[in-house]
Amino acid sequence: MKKIISTPNAPKAIGPYSQAVEANGTLYISGQIPINSETGKIIEGGITEQTEQVMKNISAILTQAGYKFTDVVKSTVLLSDIANFSAMNEVYGKYYTQNPPARAAYQVANLPLGVMIEIETIAVK
């Protein structure tokens, strides 16, 4: 059974998709970009600030669905510049201190709204 997950504590979808979908004990979180849900605007600053906001958005969705970062099994990180990998990794690592999930990271040509990072996440209970 498919359940749509939505929270006002993460940015609203900017297209025809859900913040997250839960199916059979697995939570699929759509790619999160560094939008502050309170202002609806992209966070100012560099990759460190943008990664922090993305992780806060993921946290809000995990919490709404009754999951934690320890339930995350896979992340996909999209970067506008792979040179930002190290700085992103430093922030990302603060959220996965033990038994981190599998992960892939790619540099892509463009991201929505010109942001520097997008992360999609899968969690399992």
Q: What is the CATH number of the domain that holds 80?
A: 3.30.1330.40
How many domains would you assign to the chain? 1
Residue type at position 35: I
Give me the pLDDT at residue 1, please.
87
Q: How many CB atoms lie within 10 A of CB 71?
A: 18
Q: What is the pLDDT along the chain (125 residues), one digit of tens a residue?
A: 899 999 999 999 888 999 999 999 999 999 999 999 999 999 999 999 999 999 999 999 999 999 999 999 999 999 999 999 999 999 999 999 999 999 999 999 999 999 999 999 999 99
113: its two tokens: 């709204």
The pair of three-digit structure tokens given for residue 16, joined into one six-digit string? 């025809």
Range of the domain at 47: 2-124
Long-range contacts of 85-91 (CB under 8 A, 24+ apart): 87/46, 87/47, 87/48, 87/51, 88/47, 88/51, 88/117, 90/48, 91/48, 91/51, 91/52, 91/55
